[in-house]
Structure 1
């Protein structure tokens, strides 16, 4: 067990580099308390990555804490935006974010995203399309879907022309998470 912020895994297993995690969470705390010159956003939290090392922090615990931290930064941004511009302006901002997703959602299955370069890894289109159907259900029919559902979605691997390129799918999922967190 570590004396740090999270439980560590055994020296035979891999986890996140403890010094990197501790440094990031210290920065996040200072930013949340307004003690940092550069503010931190939910997107900054979501984009954070740590090296994998033997005996590091258990990844599941750190990932869960990052999810909560991201939600806290987005909730604060919402509170500040609503205080400055009003609830209606916030809802319009979220609607704009949802509309930015909708272009892909209306494309035919198997054609929602570009294909990876030849030999490059990608995601199974059927898996990604299924998540897109869930997003349509959420936006059009109010079916339940949470940011956690999108964050934890997994897609089988496909390479080359048999898959969707990972980068655009990941960026799309990030935007969907941001919209969903703005509502939650």
Structure 2
């Protein structure tokens, strides 16, 4: 990520920056994360290096990354594109390490378990797939809009529809309250597992 083949510029050199008075993502924080990703991806596939060490960055951490705002920082949309590619690459490396360590049967069991976990919630009736916010006036995600995305995910898992991991990563739902809403944290956790499964199925 931060170091590439000879003759090419590092990824961080190619991320667009905001103007001096505009706020973007903190450059040092983004660079630190991408350097950690690079350390894992440079690990030889048949060896034990950065990717095998405790504390090595994993795809889920990239997906959940949050950066401070800074004037003149990286443009968020440009960073998001790079992080999507970083997450995809890490997920592929994690799959290879899993297969090498535990074999294809264990990998399939992992996929089946994750698929069952998601299916158990997708198969629930509309407006009943997730909890309501704990307080009646607390804002949540619009249940109707979340349900539409859930149904698209179900079609993707059935092989009857298309849905890319990036669409789940970038999902934004209108706010709602009461019976018309779902608890944000539970929906976010579900979508995180859904992205994990879609990446694993590639």
TM-score by length of 2: 0.81
How far off its partner does 1:124 sit?
Answer: 0.7
Once superposed, what is the RMSD of the aligned Cα atoms? 1.8
Is the aligned partner of 1:93 residue 2:100? no
Distance between the aligned counterparts of 1:80 and 1:144, measured in 2? 28
1:63 alignment counterpart? 80
The answer to whether residue 187 in structure 2 is matched with residue 169 in structure 1 is yes
1:122 aligned onto 2:140? yes
- Counterpart position of 2:150: 132
SS, match of residue 112 in structure 1: coil
User: Relative to 1, partners in 2 of residues 1:160 and 1:11: Cα closer, same or farther, differing over 3 Å?
Assistant: farther
1:90, distance to aligned residue in structure 2 (A): 1.7
Pair 12,158 (structure 1): closer, same or farther in 2 beyond 3 Å: farther
1:113-164 residue CA offsets vs partner (Å, 9 max, x unmatched): 1112333221111110001111111223442222122222221111344311
Which residue of the partner structure matches residue 20 of structure 1? Answer: 29
SS at match of 2:106: helix
Cα 1:129–1:37 change in 2 (3 A) is: closer
> Does structure 1 retain, via aligned residues, the 8 Å contact 2:127–2:180?
no
Equivalent residues of 2:142, 2:173 under 8 A apart = yes
- Match of residue 4 from structure 2: none
The SS at the match of 1:123 is strand
Q: Deviation at 1:32?
A: 3.0
Partner Cα separation in structure 2 for residue 85 and residue 30 of structure 1 = 23
Contact 2:63 2:169 (8 Å CA) reproduced: no
**Correspondence for 1:104:** 121
Say yes or no: does 1:82 pair with 2:99.
Answer: yes
Q: 1:19 to 1:126 in 2, by over 3 A?
A: same
Q: How many residues align?
A: 181
Once the two structures are superposed, residues 6-52 of structure 1 have per-residue CA deviations (whole angstroms, 9 ceiling, x without a partner) of 22111332210111111221222223333465222111211211012
**In 1, Cα distance between equivalents of 2:188 and 2:107:** 25
Unaligned ranges ≥5, structure 1 = none
Alignment correspondent of 2:200: 182
Give distance in 1, aligned partners of 2:54 and 2:200: 24
Aligned residue runs from structure 1 range 33-48, under 5 A: 33=42, 34-35=49-50, 38-48=55-65
User: Structure 2: how far apart are the matches of 1:37 and 1:153?
Assistant: 31
The secondary structure found in structure 2 opposite 1:126 is: helix
